[in-house]
Amino acid sequence: MDSLVPLFVIIPLGIAFIIPLIWQVTRGVFRFLPGAGMLAMAVLAFFMLFNLGGESIVYKVGGWEPVNNIPIGIHLVADPLSLMMLIIVNMIGLFAALFSIPYIDKYTGENYYYSLFSLMVAGMNGVVLTGDLFNMFVFLEVSVIASYSLVAFGSSRDELEASFKYQVLGGIASLMILFALAMTYWYTGTVNIADASEIIRSGTGTGTAIFIQLFLLTGFGLKAAMIPFHAWLPDAHSSAPSPVSAMLSGVLIKAIGAYAILRLFFSMFSLSIEIGYILIILSVLSMILGGILASGQWDYKRLLAYSSISQMGYVIMAAGIAMVVLVRGQDAGIAALAMAGGLFHMFNHSIIKGLLFLNAGAVEYATGTRNLKELGGLASVLPITSATSLGATFSIAGIPPFNGFFSKLIIIIAAVQARLYLLALIAVIMSIVTLAYFMKVQRHIFLDKVKSARFAKVREVPWLMSLPMVVMAIMCLVMSIMIIPGVRDTFLMDAVNALLSIK
Amino acid sequence: MIPYMLCFVLFLVGLYGVLTRKNILKIIIGLCVMEYSLYLFLAMTGYIEGGAAPIIDPANRAGSVVDPLPQAIVLTAIVIGLATTALLLAIAIRLYKKYKTFDIDKINTLKG
Amino acid sequence: MTIIVKNVTALLAGLVFLYGCYIVLHGHLTPGGGFAGGTIIAGSFILLVIANGIQYFRLKKEKEESSMFEGAGILCFLLLATGGLLLSVPVFFRNLLPGGTPGELFSAGVIPLYNIFVGIEVAAALLSIFLAFVIYKTEE
């Protein structure tokens, strides 16, 4: 089983670079290659998760064994948390790739699209698997450079401007991360995460460690678009082609933003109450301001992008609560509960937001606009899109029995148990605000009366576009089974234990 | 210690350039300055006084060599920097064709 | 450009190309290697394009070919790395071939092969970037 680990990087990279060679001779079959690869990887990740039973694999690339217990060479670490992230990345990637096949038809240069798409997935898979700081930086750059060009794929005015903004802020973030990495190497003499964590935790130079942590927090905060660093996200996520938006909002900001924050701050540095409070403050700002800004939007995809900022606030808040609880020395069970809620919400949000962006893409594909003021009355002409969108709305607003309700409930219970009552209150209020602005979407797009005669001949989207939406809408309901104890233990609690290292 | 500090100062100079300039090309140059400060910093972390280049030399195996890992990191970072800069310039050219200007204040269709 | 420039670059480009090949092949013995050598190889092509004007190569076709080379270079690299996974001891990026004596040209196992593929890929990639800019300029 060990030798299966590098396949998660080999398969998407191979697909990405074989498409430019064969796309002319395959007569369109190459469009299905990325989807097929991601299906294989998602199945493989499931298989490994069930067979590992909470253990983790450390895979040494190139067969370089440690010398005197000092690791040399790059390590890939497949623990339950990374496998869970791999499942998310490849599953959403599969749905977005299928959705792309009719959607990207109108653009030129399809071959480049599928290459870049696979490259982005390869980068994300690498980021979640690697156990080496510099390797993480390289994979991160692979995925974000692919995403920069995917955002600019239509090369219209909006898309170019959004991509430029995204590149400048993303570039600053990458350089901050590289600076933190250089500082880490200067301070510890290693770039292996496990090795660096031993040196940092036993060391005396807390000033240096805090300096590194602040740089990392700024860098990954920019990548995850926490509120003071969010300026690029609404532009980039709303301008990109819809399947790419689904990938960016659904997985990219989680894999290279939230996951990296969780992994580095919980597994590498010693926990400190200051970082916990900074995480909580950033997340509360994100939740409140993201929600308020989303309410005022009239562009469907822009509203969804702001909503992503708000929902990512829940995930980071759960991490902050877990860290504060652990540092205060309260019951570790509460920390585990908060972290489980956060990871569960991350999982749910990638499905929900992926689905919502695909809905937005379907609406745009069918009608040619995404302005809420122009649309209306689409429920009768786009029944599948409308129904799946309603499911996603209920789910993200936290209405039982959809999955979003349970993950938010777990986070709120954990906040109450940790005696952070204000945070619980904010989480409840923002959940209601979420419901409010998604009801606005439902009313202006799918209900209401038809406002323009040109929507009269709108047809339901092709089956390749509706199939991913239906499957994801069903998953919104089915994922609720994750709170049943047996399922929760294999799927969620193992990941939490891997992160908090509770045995 | 002072050279390390100077690298950090150079990093901040680049950041200042990115944040205050209005011309797209100057922003790209600012990003490059930030990058180069990091390459300098990384190369210095591996330096050992009097160390040779880190290549196995059968004639002289006893001498001290500088740390090869930061050099590998810098090379990889240069390649990544090349890709980023090329993409930025490509986008800048396309923006210029659409808007006929390099001034970011005039490139503002996206707001809110 | 004048006839002098054209003739001198025509002479020099070959030498530059050879020097790039030398740097790539001796990547495991001297400072340099795939990336540096590939850049020099791309430089020789870029020199020709600059000296002879943009009609010299049929640029559009040239760009497609260099993209093909780029894809092929990376695929070979990946195959070589995966080869370590498939044969005998399954380890990704394993050094398949015997090491040889340090300091000789044919030594260090598969590392020279990696260098060659990286050289092809970097040369093709830099040339594609340059040609993309040139083609975009002429399209106006």
User: Does residue B77 sit within a domain?
Assistant: yes
What pLDDT sits at residue B50? 77
What pLDDT sits at residue C58? 66
Distance CA A255, CA A266 (A): 16
pLDDT in tens, A244-280: 999 998 899 998 888 999 888 888 888 888 888 999 9
Residue A381 is encoded by which pair of tokens? Answer: 């002409």
Structural domain that includes position C85: 3-139
Is A17 close to C75, i.e. CB distance below 8 A?
Answer: yes
pLDDT in tens, chain B (112 residues): 888 889 889 999 999 999 898 899 999 999 999 999 999 998 888 888 777 777 766 666 667 788 888 888 898 899 899 899 999 998 998 888 888 888 888 877 776 5
Buried b (16+ CB within 10 A) or exposed e, A137-151: bbbbbbbbbbbbbbb
User: Does residue B56 sit within a domain?
Assistant: no
| A216 Cβ contact list (under 8 Å, min separation 6) | A176, A177, A180, A261, A264, A265
User: Does residue B8 sit within a domain?
Assistant: yes
Distance CA A113, CA A498 (A): 36
Kindly give the interhelix angle for A273-295 and A259-267, rounded to the nearest 10 degrees: 170
Is A158 close to B84, i.e. CB distance below 8 A?
Answer: no
Note whether A299 and A424 are same-domain residues: yes
Note whether A294 and A366 are same-domain residues: yes
What pLDDT sits at residue C88? 66
**Cβ–Cβ < 8 Å for C95, C111:** yes
Is C103 close to B86, i.e. CB distance below 8 A?
Answer: no
Q: Which of C26, C35, C39, C131 to mutate to test the interface with B (most CBs of B within 10 A)?
A: C35
> Which ranges of A104-132 does DSSP label H, i.e. alpha helix?
110-129
Note whether A249 and A285 are same-domain residues: no
CB < 8 Å to B95, chain A = 160-161, 164
Note whether A218 and A284 are same-domain residues: no
- Which parts of chain A sit beneath pLDDT 70? 205, 451-453, 456, 502-503
Distance CA A467, CA A96 (A): 11
Structural domain that includes position A482: 271-503
In chain B, the number of structural domains is: 1
Counted across chains A and B, CB pairs separated by less than 8 A come out at 90
For A396, the 3-state DSSP assignment is helix
Comparing CA positions, the residue from A216, A192, A191, A189 lying closest to residue A203 is A189
CB < 8 Å to A19, chain C = 71
User: Does residue B18 sit within a domain?
Assistant: yes
**Cβ–Cβ < 8 Å for C20, C40:** yes
What pLDDT sits at residue B37? 92
- List residues of chain A with CB under 8 Å from any CB of chain B: 134, 138, 141, 145, 148-149, 152, 155, 157-158, 160-165, 167-168, 171-172, 174-175, 178-179, 182, 185-186, 191, 234-235, 239, 293, 296-297, 302
Note whether A95 and A55 are same-domain residues: yes
Q: pTM value?
A: 0.92
Q: Which of A13, A125, A138 to mutate to test the interface with C (most CBs of C within 10 A)?
A: A13
In chain A, the number of structural domains is: 2
User: Does residue B12 sit within a domain?
Assistant: yes
**Cβ–Cβ < 8 Å for A123, A142:** yes
At C40, the pLDDT band (50, 70, 90 cuts) reads very high
Is A62 close to C74, i.e. CB distance below 8 A?
Answer: no
Is B110 close to A186, i.e. CB distance below 8 A?
Answer: no
Q: Which of B39, B60, B74, B75 to mutate to test the interface with C (most CBs of C within 10 A)?
A: B75
pLDDT in tens, A80-111: 888 889 999 999 999 999 999 888 888 888 88
Note whether A109 and A159 are same-domain residues: yes
What pLDDT sits at residue A503? 39
Is B58 close to C132, i.e. CB distance below 8 A?
Answer: no
Q: C110 to chain A: nearest residue by CA?
A: A62
C135 touches A: beta carbon within 8 Å: no
Structural domain that includes position B77: 2-49+66-99
pLDDT in tens, C88-133: 677 777 777 777 776 677 777 788 888 888 888 888 888 888 888 8
CB < 8 Å to A17, chain C = 71, 74-75, 78
Note whether A138 and A227 are same-domain residues: yes
Cα–Cα distances (Å) from B31 to A374, B22, C31, in that order, read 41, 14, 27
Domain boundary among A243, A270, A297: A270
CB < 8 Å to C140, chain B = 97
CB < 8 Å to A171, chain B = 31, 34, 84, 88
**Cβ–Cβ < 8 Å for A84, A129:** no
User: Does residue B105 sit within a domain?
Assistant: no
Of the partner residues C31, C35, C103, the one whose CB lies closest to the CB of residue B79: C35
C71 touches A: beta carbon within 8 Å: yes
Establish how many alpha carbons lie within 13 A of residue A18's alpha carbon, considering only the half-sphere containing its beta carbon. Answer: 17
Residue A262 is encoded by which pair of tokens? Answer: 């969780």
Of the partner residues B79, B86, B97, the one whose CB lies closest to the CB of residue C129: B86
Establish how many alpha carbons lie within 13 A of residue A487's alpha carbon, considering only the half-sphere containing its beta carbon. Answer: 9
- The CATH number assigned to the domain holding B88 equals 1.10.287.3510
Note whether A150 and A65 are same-domain residues: yes
User: Does residue B6 sit within a domain?
Assistant: yes
User: Does residue B112 sit within a domain?
Assistant: no
What pLDDT sits at residue C5? 86
What pLDDT sits at residue A176? 92
Is C140 close to B53, i.e. CB distance below 8 A?
Answer: no
Of the two residues A349 and C67, the one the predictor is more confident about is A349
In chain C, the number of structural domains is: 1
Distance CA A140, CA A134 (A): 10
Is C91 close to A14, i.e. CB distance below 8 A?
Answer: no
Please identify which residue in the block is written with the tokens 């940092």: A200
Is A20 close to C74, i.e. CB distance below 8 A?
Answer: no
Comparing CA positions, the residue from A351, A388, A133 lying closest to residue A247 is A351
Backbone φ and ψ for A78, nearest 5 degrees, come out as -105, 90
Domain boundary among A270, A301, A322: A270
Of the partner residues C35, C102, C129, the one whose CB lies closest to the CB of residue B56: C102
Backbone φ and ψ for A130, nearest 5 degrees, come out as -75, 150
Is C91 close to A60, i.e. CB distance below 8 A?
Answer: yes
| A365 Cβ contact list (under 8 Å, min separation 6) | A102, A103, A242, A461, A465
What pLDDT sits at residue A146? 92
